[in-house]
Amino acid sequence: MIRISGIILNENKKSYIALTKIFGIGKSIAIKILIKNKIDLNKKISKLKENNIINIQKYIDNKLIVEGDLRSNIKINIKNLKDINCYRGIRHKLNLPVRGQKTRNNSRTRKGKKKTIANKKKQIKNK
The H or E element containing residue 57 is helix 50-63
**Which of 103, 20, 114 shows the shortest CA–CA distance to 64?**
20
Residue 123 confidence (pLDDT): 60
Domain boundary among 26, 47, 63: 63
Q: Are 59 and 102 members of one domain?
A: no
Q: What is the pLDDT, as a whole number, of residue 109? A: 83
Residues 7 and 57 in one domain: yes
Residues 53, 100, single domain; the answer is no
pLDDT at site 39? 94
Domain residue limits at 89: 69-126
10-residue stretch averages of pLDDT, the chain, 127 residues long: 91 94 96 95 93 95 94 97 96 92 84 76 62
How many residues comprise the chain? Answer: 127
Cβ of 34: how many Cβ atoms within 10 Å?
A: 23
Total of domains in the chain: 2
CATH code at position 26: 1.10.8.50
pLDDT of residue 48: 93
How many Cβ atoms are within 10 Å of 58's Cβ, its own excluded? 11
